[in-house]
Amino acid sequence: MEGVRNSFKRLTGQEQQQSKGWWDEMKDDINQSCSLTMQQRLWGFGICFTVGVLCTFLSTLALPAILIRPEKFAIPYTLGNLLALGSTAFIIGPCRQIRSMVKRTRILATIIYVVAMGMTLFCAIKIRKAPLVLICIFIQFCALIWYCLSYIPYARRFVRSCCESTLGV
């Protein structure tokens, strides 16, 4: 009799559901809304990556005006990087992308990259000092390269040894 009662409660929605944490609820929402076909994923990746590269490229047109209005360069450059990086979430999914970004081999590059993007925008919008923006852009670029190299086996070791032999360090 108890089984019938529980089934009835479940069907009518009267059964108490276990409360999930915010992270589990967010993952469920993302997984439900991200049921794309492979063709849709490839289109999303292609469009997002192309727009990101285009934003980054077009930001260089504002490079001569960086001394007067650094945000005209920094905002499109950072947005382009975010779009290009986020485009891979179409291929592997947003949760897997985040898990990949915080792996032990990439966590430092990820943190430096994200902080550099934030500092780039902060220096461009609030402080408005071109040298600081350029330093943040350089750090952002180096962190992105180091992050991307972490996906290629032995690439970081190769780049490190090339830099050591070139610089004599």
CB 121, CB 74: distance < 8 Å? yes
Question: pTM of the entire structure?
Answer: 0.75
DSSP state of 65: G
Confidence (pLDDT) at 69:
93
* Tens-place pLDDT, residues 106-153: 999 999 999 999 999 999 999 999 999 999 999 999 999 999 999 889
Closest residue by Cα to residue 159 from 30, 39, 52, 150? 150
Rounded mean pLDDT, 45-71:
93
Residue predicted with more confidence, 169 or 18: 169
Residue predicted with more confidence, 8 or 66: 66
Number of H helices, E strands in the chain: 8, 0
CB 97, CB 30: distance < 8 Å? no
Cα–Cα distances (Å) from 125 to 53, 68, 128, 148, in that order, read 22, 12, 6, 28
Name every residue whose Cβ is closer than 8 Å to that of residue 75 and which is 6 or more positions away in sequence: 59, 121, 124, 125
* Tens-place pLDDT, residues 75-112: 999 999 999 999 988 888 888 899 999 999 999 999 99
Q: Give the separation between CA 123 and CA 70, rounded to whole angstroms.
A: 8
Confidence (pLDDT) at 76:
96
Helix (H) or strand (E) holding 81: helix 71-92
Confidence (pLDDT) at 11:
53
